[in-house]
Amino acid sequence: MVKIEDLKRINLLRNFPDHLFEIIAKEAQLSIFGADTKLIAVNKPIDTFYMLIMGQVAVKRELTPKIDIILDNIQSGSSFGTSALIKGSTANYIAICQEPCEVITLSGERMQQLFKENHELAYYMMLGVAKQYKRKMDTRAQMIMKTLNENPELKEDINDIENLTLVI
Amino acid sequence: MIGHRRMVEKDILEKIVFLKDLPEPVLEKIGNIAHLETFDEEGILFRQNQEQILVYMLVSGKVFLNCRSALGKSLTLDEVLPGRTFGVSALMGETSSTFTAVCVEPCEIITLSGEKMLELFENDFKTGHSLMLKVVGIFRSRMKMHTRQFLHSLASHPEVI
């Protein structure tokens, strides 16, 4: 059980109706993890959805055995592990605490069960996840367009530029 | 330039990939708030960074999605063909457009008010959930693909690290 005030600090839950906060609050756990704790590991199932209250979490991928690339630095108010809300999938990245972190967790399995019983909760959660993906995709599109503008010759090497758009 | 507007029949909605497999009563509800409109060649549907309040589903014709850089250069990012949906930002209550959409030939397009679609979802959460799940599935697979390509590029050009 967590406080509704803590849930209201999470971007993905912005504009949720109050009665849904009550449902989530009952299901959620508040945990504190030390620096260097690995929350998501490569080739392990993503079974928990994480919402960061305090601290910073790095999302990394191994490029070579000697080099890790940080794909994202998750700050307080942000969330990760959204795959847990959809269906069991295996991680191809590492999520690791960069400092002591206060995190709200939700069991993916339990949330998927709740989605079957409560379509309102399912809709608002998925709308939040879609908005989060859209913001990330927009940021990436802007970065790629800036790079292409500065290096137009690179466009010839890209054969799927259309995937930057949100056409479905 | 906008031509005539009319409500949309189920058989036309069924041509849209995003609406595939929706139950008939849901398609009827969507048909009641949708409009079928015709646009001339070079008609601008929406502009980059401007308010975007409609979702567009292409029935016939062809639309380009262009973006303009800070230096004013235009780049075509996508060529939208019949059956595809664009302008989905309006479905998420986020109204700023990332691209400019322009008809490159005369087009027949279903337009839906994002606000009315959100109202429909709030009255039928099951449909809202299943359509949002579709959106998330597509976005997620594209993000994964971008990341894979990005890492592949870095691995091929380690000098940029």
Residue B6 pLDDT exceeds 70: no
Among A37-46, A51-60, B139-148, name the one with the lowest average pLDDT. B139-148
Q: A165 lies in a domain?
A: no
Q: Do A146 and B69 touch (CB under 8 A)?
A: yes
Q: A55 lies in a domain?
A: yes
Structure-token pair, residue B60:
């016939």
Min Cα–Cα distance to chain A from B40, Å: 21
* Per-residue exposure over A57-77, b if at least 16 CB sit within 10 Å of its own CB, e if not: bbbbbeeeeeeebeeeebebe
The DSSP output letter for B52 is -
The pLDDT confidence band at residue A19, using thresholds 50, 70 and 90, is: very high
Contacts of A167 in chain B (CB under 8 A): 65, 78, 80, 84-86
* Residue A16's CATH number: 2.60.120.10
CA separation for the pair B44, B35 (Å, rounded): 17
Q: Considering only CA atoms, which of B136, B134, B108 is closest in space to residue B34?
A: B108
Helices vs strands, H then E, count in chain B: 4, 9
Whole-prediction pTM: 0.84
The partner residue sitting opposite B75, judged by closest CB among A82, A145, A163, is A145
Q: Considering only CA atoms, which of A97, A108, A60, A93 is closest in space to residue A75?
A: A97
Whole-number percent of chain B with pLDDT over 90: 43
Q: A161 lies in a domain?
A: no
Give the domain extent around A101.
4-151
Q: Are strands B54-60 and B63-68 parallel, antiparallel or unpaired?
A: unpaired
Q: A160 lies in a domain?
A: no
Supply the pLDDT for residue A24.
96
Q: A24 lies in a domain?
A: yes
* Residue A83, CB-side half-sphere exposure with 13 Å CA sphere: 16
Phi-psi region of B42 (alpha: psi -120 to 50; beta: other; left: phi over 0): left
ipTM of model over 0.85: no
Residue A162 pLDDT exceeds 70: no
Q: Do A161 and B139 touch (CB under 8 A)?
A: no
Structurally, what CATH architecture does the domain formed by B2-124 represent? Answer: Sandwich (2.60)
Q: In terms of CA atoms, which chain B residue is nearest residue A15?
A: B93
Q: A40 lies in a domain?
A: yes
Q: A124 lies in a domain?
A: yes
Q: Considering only CA atoms, which of B92, B52, B15 is closest in space to residue A133?
A: B92
Q: Are strands A79-80 and A48-54 parallel, antiparallel or unpaired?
A: antiparallel
The partner residue sitting opposite B128, judged by closest CB among A71, A123, A160, is A123
Among A33-47, B64-78, B90-104, name the one with the lowest average pLDDT. B64-78
Domains held by chain A: number: 1
Residue B106 pLDDT exceeds 80: yes
Sign of CA dihedral B53, B101, B35, B117: negative
Q: A159 lies in a domain?
A: no
Q: What is the rounded average pLDDT of the residues A148-158?
A: 65
Mutate one of B98, B110, B159 to test the A interface: name it (highest A CB count within 10 A).
B98
Predicted confidence (pLDDT) per residue in B87-99, tens digit: 888 888 766 777 8
Structure-token pair, residue A100:
């002591």
